[in-house]
Amino acid sequence: MRTFVNNHRFMMICLLTMWLKTYIVSKFVFNVSTENILQTIIFVLNPLSFMFIVFAFGLLMKAHFQRWYILTVSLLLSIALYSNAVYFREFTDIITLPMLVMSGNAGDLSTSVFELIRWYDVLFFADVILFAYLIWKKREWLTVTQVLYKRNKKVILAFLVSALVIIGLSQVDRPENPETMTHSFDREWLVKRYGLYNFYVYDAFIHTRTAAQALFSEEDDWDDIHDHLAQHRAPANPEMQGVASDKNVVMISLESIESFVIGESINGEEITPYLNELIGESYYFPNFYDQTGQGKTSDAEFLVNTSMYPLGRGAVFHTHSDNEYMGLPDTLRDEGYYTAAFHANDRTFYNRDIMYENMGYDDYFSQSYYDIGGDNTVGWGMKDIEFFEQSMEYLKDFSEPFYAKLLTLTNHFPYELDEEDHYIDPYSSSSDILNRYIPTVRYTDEAIKLFMEDMKEAGLYEETIFVFYGDHYGIAESHNEAMGEFLGKEIDVFENTQLARVPLIIHIPGQEGEELDTVAGKVDVKPTLLNLLGIPEWPHVMFGTDLFSEQREDFVVMRNGTIVTDDYLYVGETCYEKETGEPTLLESCDAMRERGEWEVFYSDNIIYGDLLRFR
């Protein structure tokens, strides 16, 4: 053994350094926790199973090539580790292979990416830099020796067997239910069990399998899905049926706005004064949860327009934009509506040019339709007030009835806003992100107020139903300490899930409205609108339920596997009592957990198999 180490000193040092670095990042950046000694051992050893295999290939190379191969492997693994660490800082998630398809949007994400980079990030690559220097200056000390396979089969086999033993060990503590792996959407669980690098091997397998799924799909695949939907279907509220019949529909995506700002004030000033006022004369849903995945805003659009769940890996807008869908715009167009989407961004961003047409939008008013530049841009693009003003020039000329979907931008991470546009002072806390978030939310609130006034002046207000929804969370878990200061309570796992609530406001002029406490999500928006507009649900495939239905179940499943009902909350393999926020018997959440897994599993199958083409 000592001879082997002396002859392969460079590989052993790189392997051990990479192993230690991976453990430290996984433990303290990804916050992976273990529940027992066996899980801890598996978690610590898992990275080695992948490293043994990839580094072993280098042993077969000549000395000159072996050094650069080992250094390149170390660099690539460091890049994978660092990229995930940066992404995790804001999104508390792991990068999946379908997300690499979205890398073409990187130019548009520059302000967000730079906000997440830290000066000390160079430490992620300190070992690679040091090894590159030593190869240049101290090559004779970093020994490498080519292993000839015929003479050293035992060495190669030892690496492979060690890797297989570690992989086999990871199966010892796996759940009894074999479907857990099939349905798994918990990437933290996968990284804990298989390690970050093996996760990508698994992700590649899933990516290959799902990519081919549509080729082998059949109409019979609908049978189990129909049974599941029928089992959980609740009839729409007949008293609300058609109350907004033939009215225009204006749906506004409130970028990154969470429910915690609604009704809140700082220094005696309301953060959302107009939305607070609007809620008083609207239908408001305070227990409306974010169900988006890695596609964020585009996932929110998918949810409200299809009543299906977004994918757990990547964004549907990118991976399956050519599928058949029963989109809300398409349905309304069949009912005589003119349908249009407004977004002051590049029309190809997130494949919206393809997806919007596929979902049934007649027109897409993108960046080229707006006068953008100078003082009317900040952060990600056009300021909301100017966006609404210029959008009105098109909207007021639409033939009625129409369906218009508008996406706001100003309240986007990293929440930049010129001081002259502040309608409220920044918050003062340990988080610059939260501090800047408050003025950008207030700015969007003001933009909505001015837009609604323009709708009244244009004579469109009375004949329009307005739907406002927060598209996804705004403040990441990494800012929970500051959020605790703001809310005056500790943000534990239970409270963190409560922060996943986003506002849903349905405003129908002439109706008083009310606050409804039903536990719901964006998947419920489409069936609710269909009923309000008097459009039959059949033949739509919808996982959501009319929010006004008296028979609906209080139930919502999020894309990360968290499930909420009126009685319980299931998150991170723990069941909590909703009323007390205290952990309870895991069995109490079994039924809701099983339903949640099947919900997203069946929805995924519809998308991966392009099953709507059979209807």
Q: Which amino acids are annotated catalytic?
A: 297
389: Cα separation from own chain's centroid: 30
User: Are residues 324 and 330 in contact, defined by beta-carbon separation less than 8 angstroms?
Assistant: no
Structure tokens at 491: 């943000």
User: Are residues 73 and 54 in contact, defined by beta-carbon separation less than 8 angstroms?
Assistant: yes
Residue with tokens 């990547």, as numbered in its chain: 314
3-state secondary structure of 468: strand
Phi, psi of 92 (to 5 degrees): 50, 50
CA distances from 177 to 180, 184, 266, 558, 594 (A): 6, 11, 49, 21, 11
Residue with tokens 């300021």, as numbered in its chain: 383
Burial class (CB in 10 A: 0-12, 13-18, 19+), 176: exposed
d(CA 89, CA 170): 27
Task: Look at the chain and count its residues.
Answer: 615
User: Are residues 21 and 167 in contact, defined by beta-carbon separation less than 8 angstroms?
Assistant: no
Sequence-ordered alpha helix ranges (H) in 265-397: 273-279, 297-306, 316-319, 328-334, 352-359, 384-395
494: Cα separation from own chain's centroid: 19
User: Are residues 531 and 546 in contact, defined by beta-carbon separation less than 8 angstroms?
Assistant: yes
Query: For 567, which DSSP code?
Result: S
